[in-house]
Chain A
Amino acid sequence: MPSKRLCKIFDISIVKSYLYMFTTVGIVILITSCASFEHLTMITEDTFPQAIECGKCHVEIYKEWLQSDHAIAYKNPHFREATDDYSFEECLSCHAPLPTVSNTAPVTRSVNRDEGVTCVSCHLKEGKLSGPIEPRGSVSPHPVDVNPDFYRDSDICGRCHKREFNEWKSVNTVDKKTCQQCHMPSVTRKVTQSTGGISEFIVALEHEVQQKRHSFPTVPSQLDGDIISIDAINNGSSVTLTIRNNLLHSLPTGDFGFRFVVMEVDSLDSKGNTRVLAKKELVKELKTAIAPMAATEWQLSVPLDTIEIRFKLRRFGPEQDDIVNLVDIEVPLQ
């Protein structure tokens, strides 16, 4: 049974299968004889699988995660302050959760909280490390569970990002993208990377596969379409801009912390002078955020000798330098 199953998973010839099987079994026996991988899946009162352990093999993913907001979900100073030095327990369940793959609501873990939303928060399930793709390597040092539907669904994100998830859910559209489709850019690579030694050998045996990056960018650098689409109707002295939010969540979105988006319109006159015509903040709490797939109108007066206007959209975070330019486009004046 196991061999039959393995054949099915790897989809290679029986001969090759047997070769790999023996090799792998040999290596596993070799490795397991030297080290235990129990710590990757074991959670007790004071032990918790650390990301760095995962990163020993899943090097790229670990690196991505390390740069992501998930890694600092707990230890970033804004969260520490916002929870009065982690004293508000109910906040911690999403910022330092136990594995959330069960159907129950996220629960705060007792140790290793600094890692925030760490690997096992999403990937440890009933003693197995779960994921959307079949293992491509010859060996797995830890039990593996494959559940692509679960991991490709927005629901997994929505366990913590509840309200963003609800916004997304409320949108009715064809070919609706999931959270992961935008915030986990695709990449084709091996799931593990070598770190020298025996890992070179093991990784060499692995096949590349299309997978998702774990950088979780707030503002994805590559999107299939524009964040917004903009129409300008020139009424002579004034221009009515219709700004349409193409996202499947409101612009901006988010329920905690500090973030907002500023729209800015600059004008360029015939003499080549640029000046800011107007600025407008979009804040979700102030109900100025643009709902998903909805549009907002903005009427501005434009000087007569304006030959061109530019529309800019910037995102601001809690820090002074936390600015991301989202949009900077020329709006044709009709």
Chain B
Amino acid sequence: MKDEKILRFSAGEIVLHWANAILYLTLACTGTLILLLKIFEIEIVSYDVLSLIHRFSGISLIITLILTFILSIFVKSFRRLWNSLVQCLTWKISDIVWLIKVPLTMVCRQVIVPPAERFNAGQKLHLLVVFTILIGFSISGLGIMLLPGALAAWMIHLACFIPAAGFLLLHMFLSMVNPSTRKSLPAIFTGYVSAEYARLHHPLWIKSDEIKPHGSYVSWPALALTTAVASVLLASTLYYYGPQRARQKIQKLISQRGTTAILPGPLVASHANDPQIRHCTACHNYFSSPACETCLSCHKIIEQRMEDRSGFHGKLPGQCRSCHQDHTGTDGDIRNFDTSKFDHNLANYKLQGRHIGLSCQECHLVKVDENIKTQTKYIGLNFEKCTDCHYDPHDGQFKKSCDKCHNEHGWKNQPPSEYHAMDSSYPLLGQHAKVKCEQCHRIPANKTKLAEANFVSLQKNCKQCHKDPHDGQVSTECQKCHTEEGWKGKALLFSHDKHSEFALDNIHAKSECSHCHQIGSKTVYRPLPKTCEGCHKHIEELILGNAGYVTAKPDPHSGRVSCVQCHPTDKQKQKPSEYADKCKSCHNDDYERLYQNWTKAFDLRKSQADELLSKLRKTDPVKADQMAELITQAEHAEFHNIQLTRQLWHNILSQER
């Protein structure tokens, strides 16, 4: 009798137990580790691995259970499960009493618990709880996986963990540590238990009559020892972890009402700092995934886009969460945006030309505040104006749109003259078309680019760019005389007769401008004398008999005959005979001959003087220059004062003798 064994579990039951137990333990371990990770941030294994194992195990467990129950329908040996299940789920009054009395046995030996059947009330309760928890875990687990973000699933899953852990510990304590109950352990490996154990614990099952009271179900020493070992383990772990830190974590857990346990990660900064988001339910629902409406209640721009079916978001199918998941950490990027795969043409702003090759950051990196904090911004980025992205080198000079001159294919697509024609009220004509831009649009000293030059406020009058070479002496209306075609030659509209107060007669028409307008090193236009002697002062002096180093009486003509009487303004170069006629016209016919005589006389002197001069040039160039000047003077004097001229020639010719 002593070695008598009684079959307690069938093979199906054992398989079911272990299949369940292995996965259940795995789930418990990974679950615990996840919780440790969440609550205490102890990362023994990474979350992703844990999560994967947990999820895999969970699904495996569900499949295992379902398979087992399906097998139990078709396979005979498994059918016993249903009996056991019915036995477990059949509750009697005595079972309740049993449950009440068992704890009392620990303190009072006189307490007699009612005799148990194949499964006592504790075992029934364990099965019921585990079964219930499994259903809870399974449903909530599936919920977590199928309805991401549904809060109830997480809460149920977490809620299930507490009884599950408790019962697991209790189950393991009783089956492996507690002396009186661990005798049943072989049953779960072999299926058999000792008859003695069966008689003592399950008298009604083996229909034993001798129901005798047995001692405490739970041994105090075993419990104390277990508690001590657990305490030491916990204490040493706590010590290793740091009590202060642990306390903080626990306080945090409490203060956040346990949400840290299920929180996948901290919210991204923008959500975390949003005062409207104080509770999970701000975004989450209990029984469904966070809805788009919730997101869009804040993200109005996106809502608008989606309504309008415009922009990138307006063209996308699906839910917000299919792309955006939060709880990626304060520094996380909820946008989950793979720029390399992004088709910008889905966005409101189509990329063309040079824009195509740019890196996203060149446009989408924006300044958040003054502290040079930059971050990417995609939606709502202004693009109507170029200056929304581009720095305006023209410093706001051009009020109109940039695309008059610029397009996406580059800044400098046209020759400058065409730019000018495109957006300027100052068409470039003639020589202006050949001028370099910066010659008119001066680049300021502290700037380097042409674009930064002055464009709009440039005056259209000539003196804005051109220095007045006339030094303000003539009209400010340059266009009266000048065109864009050039300064000189045919381009010069200047007509001395029309634009000046001195109409050019034939005498002056072929003169070099400088003859009248170059006075020393200065160019003078106004005021200039209009009389003959105003310019030909030296001639007047000669007429008056003053040749500097030689003086003579004033010529008799002086004061009596005007210049034009001999030099009519309509004749450019008078022939000698015409001059002779002039003499004749006032004097008499003999003066024609007299004129010729004097001309001949002076010409002779001139040729003599030239001969002397050419000799002198070889010997004394300085003196020769002086002589040349004197010769010129004598030539000028000539008929203006014959007696003076005689003296001048005399002086010249006698000088070198």
Contact = CB atoms under 8 A, between A and B. Distances in A.
A263 to B, nearest CB: 15
Contacts of B576: none
A84 B590 contact: no
Contact of B598 (A84, A285, A286): A84
Interface in B617-657: 642-643, 646
Contacts of A161: none
Given A163-B588, A255-B588, A87 B560 contact: no
Contacts of A283: 560
Given A90-B593, A281-B560, A286-B560, A84 B601 contact: yes
A81 B601 contact: no
A285 B643 CA distance: 19
Interface in A262-294: 281, 283, 285-287
Interface residues of B, number: 15
A90 B601 CA distance: 14
A285 B587 CA distance: 5
Contacts of A84: 597-598, 601, 646
Contact of B646 (A81, A91, A286, A287): A81
Interface string B586-611: 11101001100110010000000000
B556 interface: yes
Interface string A72-95: 000000000100100110110000
Contacts of B590: 90, 255-256
Interface in A281-313: 281, 283, 285-287
Contacts of B598: 84
Given A258-B556, A286-B560, A286-B586, A87 B646 contact: no
B363 to A, nearest CB: 94
Contacts of B561: 286
Interface string A42-62: 000000000000000000000
Contacts of B593: 88, 90
Nearest to A320: B553
A286 B597 CA distance: 23
A81 B587 contact: no
Main secondary structure of the interface of A (DSSP, over half): loop
Contacts of A255: 587-588, 590
B597 A88 contact: yes
A255 B594 CA distance: 12
Q: State which size class the interface on A falls in.
A: 10 to 19
Interface string B528-557: 000000000000000000000000000010
Nearest to A256: B590
Interface string B196-215: 00000000000000000000
A286 B601 CA distance: 27
Contacts of B646: 81, 84
A285 B586 contact: yes
Contacts of A258: 556
A255 B588 CA distance: 7
Contacts of A256: 590
A269 B611 CA distance: 66
B594 A88 contact: yes
Contacts of A81: 642-643, 646
A81 B556 CA distance: 14
Contacts of A87: 597, 601
B601 to A, nearest CB: 5
A294 to B, nearest CB: 19
A3 to B, nearest CB: 51
Contacts of B586: 285-287
A106 to B, nearest CB: 13
Interface in A85-119: 87-88, 90-91
Contacts of B588: 163, 255
A255 B587 CA distance: 7
A93 B303 CA distance: 129
A88 B587 CA distance: 17
Nearest to A287: B586
Contacts of B643: 81
A328 B640 CA distance: 35
A137 B104 CA distance: 215
A88 B561 CA distance: 25
A329 B597 CA distance: 44
A285 B582 CA distance: 11
Nearest to A84: B601
Interface string A131-166: 000000000000000000000000000000001000
Nearest to A88: B597
A135 B495 CA distance: 81
A258 B590 CA distance: 15
A255 B590 CA distance: 9
Interface in A229-277: 255-256, 258
A163 B588 CA distance: 9
Nearest to B597: A88
Contacts of A286: 560-561, 586
A285 B598 CA distance: 19
A281 B556 CA distance: 13
A277 B441 CA distance: 70
Interface string B334-368: 00000000000000000000000000000000000
A283 B646 CA distance: 25
25 contacts: A81-B642, A81-B643, A81-B646, A84-B597, A84-B598, A84-B646, A87-B597, A87-B601, A88-B593, A88-B594, A88-B597, A90-B590, A90-B593, A91-B594, A163-B588, A255-B587, A255-B588, A255-B590, A256-B590, A258-B556, A281-B560, A283-B560, A285-B586, A285-B587, A287-B586
Given A87-B597, A281-B560, A286-B560, 6 more contacts: A81-B643, A84-B646, A88-B597, A255-B588, A256-B590, A285-B586
Top 6 A-B pairs ranked by shortest CB distance?
A285-B586, A88-B597, A84-B601, A258-B556, A255-B588, A285-B587
